[in-house]
Amino acid sequence: MKYSLLLFLIVMVSCKSQNNETESQHKYTNALVKETSPYLLQHAHNPVDWYAWNDEALKKAKDENKLLLISVGYSSCHWCHVMEHESFEDTLVAEVMNKNFINIKVDREERPDVDQVYMNALQIMKGSGGWPVNAIALPDGRPIWAETYLPKDQWTSVLEQISKLYKEDPTKLIQQAENVQNGINSISVVEVNSNAPVFEKDFIAQAVNTWSKQFDKKFGGINREPKFMMPNNYHFLLRYAYQTDNDELLDFVNLTLKKIAYGGVYDHVTGGFSRYSTDGKWHVPHFEKMLYDNAQLVSLYSDAYLLTKDELYKEIVKETLDFIDEEMTTSEGAFYSSFDADSMNPEGELEEGAFYVWQKEELKSILKEDLDLFSEYYNINNYGLWEKGNYVLIRKDDDADILKKYSISQNELDDKKSSWKSTLRDIRNKRPKPRMDDKALTSWNGLMLKGYTDAYRVFGNEDYLQTAIANAEFITSKVLREDGGLNHTYKKGESKINGYLEDYATVIDAFIALYEVTLNEKWLNTANQLSKYIFDHFYDDTSKMFFYTSDEDTALVVRNIVYHDNVIPGSNSIIAKNLFKLSHYFDNTSYAESATTMLNNIKPEIVKYPTAYSNWLDLMLNYTNPFYEVAISGADAKQKISELNKNYIPNKLIAGSTSENNMPLLKNRFNPDNTLIYVCVNKACKLPVLEVDKAIKLLDK
């Protein structure tokens, strides 16, 4: 598909810079003042006549026959802020925008459905994506042009050229829209696989072999820059390495997890992870902290600890959850969304990473005689130097190397680290903090709920369980509607925006996990009810997959099916795994058939690009290896489950009860005198045992 018009439009002419001063932004007010999204509110006093994405704005474009200008970003996006300052706060740029377009600002976190449409358009036209997404569309919403950040003069030039063309020869733009629309439609198509569903170990081995050619054997992760953590990738590879006794692959996963934990993408002062590394050694991050990354990494490091018993992983989980508890948890039990990458530097200017970096002279005055040891441990040297004399803390050596070099004990080093972190935290907290996005997104809360539940399962910390339960109660009381559906976002008592498939996927997954550690059937039954809801409102009879948006939502130019696994697994892959588990709990053959069909539909694409299908591959392991139902019934069921959970057993689910129970896996299995453990696979059960260690021997990895 060729886009000659696009190429014409992005050939920019050099313009003389206009040096007009940006007027005080609070002189202006636009429709965004009515919104709750922190990102939209940041633009509420731009001179641009912004609207939120809603029926009123879309109708206005059609009534006035004006092009739509759709600008998508999020509150912690650095280049979104840059473009706002350079262009959207400039009165002359705003004049061009207001005269020729209906301007719509979109928070991609609040409206991921809209973001997907115009991000797909951007990737089709440009070959790559990123935020901000700035798209121009016909009044009916079909995109004709898209770009990321552009400097002010180039931005203005593009707007003038396109608006001129729309007035003089709109047929060219209409043809462009049709071409782009065809491309967007093709992205969302999932073909039903008419071949019988056959899932084999060799298929997974081939996918992993293809994947391994991209491994960075020095720093872990994929051999590319920038580097994203991609927790689901390593969750699958961890499990696969364990179940196939592949020590080389397990070493690679541990190398990756260790290098991420050592890197600057991890906040060594307060815990928590930034979004990605701009370099190949996980050193200099894009400093925004997102809830979804931290949630999934907590789950990953918890399971990695369970398998390896590496104390580093336990430390990472503890510090990250301390950060979430202190900085991102509300009194209602919800979790905030993110922290900005930018904050005020000593000169009073917004600068990326200003809150997190250190100067050597500053550290010298703080740490005094400990500076040498600290510098060795966190590389206050050329290895840890970023730019402008700023250091981003990064580890390179194991503790054992430091202990040997400085002739100190592990306890002494641990005390030093604790003291350093406390001191630096106190000093850093006196700096201007990055802005927080204080909305709660249901899907990301589901991921964090799962993170806390996994951490409790592995470490047994009751505080983690109480936080998980509080969040689950928040979801059911604040964002679960009376009609059985979920809302997508919550802030200051207001729950709004009809939920997307990702909201249901992550919440169902988390509720299943919460049931497994509490045995409170409320969570399992709610997961089942939510699953029934998505069949009613999201299911596509043609592809046998699930749309991202509900049939009750206002139609966009395309109704997407999201199935690729990215920084968050594709919502369809999470749903398929949920249905697989729920089919066992409720003996539901319809769920089982759906999970199998969905996986079979995606199978032809997996080997070509396995990194984009890691969650599907994880599901496939449930078919190629034994998958166990562990049913524990009796007064000591919870105690035995806690004991069982001290072992890494990824190919099982747990059902349990301390009394008589009619759940299919528990029916007629209660014994008032003994707590019995039943291990079943493919509807066949071994004789029940009393001891956990004997049950474990019945579980073949």
- C-alpha 652/C-alpha 622 separation (Å) is 9
* Of the residues 430, 445, 473, the one at which a domain ends: 430
The CATH number of the domain where 311 resides is what?
1.50.10.10
Considering its fold, how many domains does the chain have in total?
Answer: 4
Host H or E run for residue 162: helix 152-168
Return the number of other C-beta atoms located less than 10 Å from residue 669's C-beta: 20
What 3-state DSSP class applies to 476?
Answer: helix
What does the pLDDT look like over 276-316, one tens digit per residue?
999 999 999 999 999 999 999 999 999 999 999 999 999 99
Pair (316, 207) in one structural domain: yes
- C-alpha 353/C-alpha 340 separation (Å) is 9
Pair (562, 673) in one structural domain: no
Q: How many residues in total does the chain contain?
A: 701
pLDDT confidence of residue 1:
38
In a domain, 194, yes or no: no
Pair (570, 634) in one structural domain: no
What torsion do the CA atoms of 308, 314, 315, 318 make, to the nearest 10 degrees? Answer: 160
Pair (168, 59) in one structural domain: yes
In a domain, 351, yes or no: no
Pair (473, 531) in one structural domain: yes
In a domain, 327, yes or no: yes
In a domain, 350, yes or no: no
Task: Kindly give the parts of the chain with pLDDT less than 70.
Answer: 1-26
In a domain, 513, yes or no: yes
Pair (323, 228) in one structural domain: yes
- C-alpha 237/C-alpha 613 separation (Å) is 12
Return the number of other C-beta atoms located less than 10 Å from residue 3's C-beta: 18
pLDDT confidence of residue 625:
95
Pair (241, 132) in one structural domain: no
Question: Which residues constitute the domain of residue 651?
Answer: 628-697
Pair (425, 444) in one structural domain: no
Pair (425, 510) in one structural domain: no
* Of the residues 187, 211, 229, the one at which a domain ends: 187
pLDDT confidence of residue 26:
60
- C-alpha 339/C-alpha 438 separation (Å) is 9
In a domain, 349, yes or no: no
pLDDT confidence of residue 18:
33
In a domain, 217, yes or no: yes
Pair (586, 659) in one structural domain: no
Pair (183, 245) in one structural domain: no
Pair (214, 238) in one structural domain: yes
In a domain, 371, yes or no: yes
- C-alpha 189/C-alpha 602 separation (Å) is 11
Q: 20: which DSSP letter?
A: P
